[in-house]
A and B are shown apart, each in its own frame.
Chain A
């Protein structure tokens, strides 16, 4: 069964002015769609064709002969979560339990934001910044290109796309401003808390 592009869970202009409708149109309709299309073409008539996405991501990771499959499967997985991690009027207060965990493991919300921003800024080239659960503890990480915490045995709570296509129309070279807007004005913390409860 071929993979399908999930619809955006909100209107294209829902995140404006922090992420423009134009950016979301290209990012969702073109970039994400291209990953889905490429993935479907690559796994067609192969043993991976009927496997769940997570299994394809894990099975293709680190295998040079499956690099293209990994790139596109990883990005399909990453983007599917990414859309849900944002919402209109996002970035407000963090649900209590999650905030307590951030305070315990990461030294407070400000320290978490600082670490997450640094991860995004220092991911050279294209990639992602993440908040994950690793061995029961929260951790901030980063990955290049389509790689994600799934292949490192970590549970994703939050991820920010720092490929330039995610912010170039709105912020150009100012990746730091984009990361700040993401954390302060876009993150859907209720969804993040839900991911934590699911473990």
Chain B
């Protein structure tokens, strides 16, 4: 049905430039509630990560799942102007101080918004490998790239139910692995996330079904290491947010 919708749009628009827009995710419509939090378009085509992550999964994951978190987060802060004016990383770090009535929604949807924003950012067709400072930190703190991937994938396979695996980074550039249930994030402990992988079934079920370990392994092919390197530099400079 989604495909039909897209074809219909194409036919109606009938312009070549629309194809480019569609590829960049601009032509797809997703729920955009009014409020302080926005869903940014993907920085690449939904098909850019194939065959590791299929285009339909990317489309539903970004346009539906992530969009819903943004909509629900905006709705939760609507009547709490003080919260609405805070940066998301500060809201999540101060979850305990959030109004009782909206704390759970902020935790789930705010966490979901932060996690997915990071997720889209660190993936892409660029690929590559860790270099420089980042490579040195991985060698020093996580036993090298191969050991990091193995530990990370093991942690991902052990998440029971829905959740995430993260590599966190502190201001000194020290790295650590951490997994979290649901949409919780190390940001809720005031930490910074270098990178992370989504192990909710919606992230891989259309292609991998019950084979989460295969998804975890393939996912590394989607990581854009130049983006991870930028996040690493920002973390050390104290400018990394979500």
Q: Judge: A and B partners, yes or no.
A: yes
Point out the residue from A68, A168, A173 that lies within 8 Å of B68, measured CB to CB. Answer: A173
Q: What is the 8 Å Cβ interface bit string for chain A, positions 57-97, against chain B (1 contact, 0 not)?
A: 00000000001100100000000000000000000000000
CB distance from B224 to the nearest CB of A (A): 25
Pair A168/B65 contact, Cβ less than 8 Å: no
Chain A residue with minimal CB distance to B68?
A173
Q: How far is the CA of A40 from the CA of B205 in the complex (A)?
A: 26
A146 and B161 CA atoms in complex are apart in Å by 8
When distances are taken between beta carbons in the complex, the residues of chain B under 8 Å from A184 are none
In the complex formed, the residue of A with least CB distance to B108 is A124
Rounded to whole Å, the gap between the CB of B214 and the closest CB of chain A is 12
Structural contact, A126 and B161, CB atoms closer than 8 A: yes
Q: Which single residue of chain A is at the shortest CB-CB distance from B104?
A: A124
Measured in the bound complex, the distance between the Cα atoms of B104 and A68 in whole Å is 26
Q: Is A169 located at the chain interface by the 8 A CB criterion?
A: yes
B:95-132 near A, CB below 8 Å = 104, 108
Q: Bound state CA distance, A166 and B210, in angstroms?
A: 11
Closest chain-B Cβ to A67's Cβ sits at a distance in Å of 8
Chain B's closest residue to A31 (CB) is: B210
| A166 nearest in chain B by CB position | B201
The yes or no answer to B181 lying at the interface (CB within 8 A) is yes
Q: Indicate if B219 sits at the interface (CB-CB under 8 A).
A: no
- Write the nearest CB–CB distance from B17 to chain A, whole angstroms: 29
Of A30, A127, A145, A146, which one neighbours B210 at CB under 8 angstroms? A30
Closest to B2 in A: A172
With a cutoff of 8 Å between Cβ atoms, the chain B residues found around residue A165 in the complex are: 201, 205, 209-210
Contact pattern, A 121-155, Cβ under 8 Å of B = 1, otherwise 0: 00011110000000000000000111000000000
Q: Does A163 contact B (CB under 8 A)?
A: yes
Judged by a CB distance under 8 angstroms, whether B60 is at the interface is: yes
Contact with A along B149-174 (1 / 0, CB 8 A): 00000000000111100000000000
- B200 on interface, CB distance cutoff 8 Å: yes
CB pair B162 A169 closer than 8 Å: no
Per the bound structure, the CA–CA distance linking A71 and B161 in Å amounts to 9
- Contact A168:B163 (CB < 8 A) given known A34-B210, A125-B182: no
Once bound together, how far apart are the Cα atoms of A68 and B163, in whole Å?
16
Q: Does A190 contact B (CB under 8 A)?
A: no
B210 near A125 (CB under 8 angstroms)?
A: no
Residues of A at the B interface (CB closer than 8 Å) are 26, 30-31, 34, 67-68, 71, 124-127, 144-146, 163-165, 168-169, 172-173
Q: Can you show 16 pairs from A to B with CB atoms below 8 A apart?
A: A26-B209, A124-B182, A125-B182, A125-B183, A125-B200, A144-B161, A145-B161, A163-B161, A164-B201, A165-B205, A168-B205, A168-B206, A169-B205, A169-B206, A173-B64, A173-B65
**B-to-A contact residues, CB < 8 Å:** 60, 64-65, 68, 104, 108, 160-163, 181-183, 200-202, 205-206, 209-210
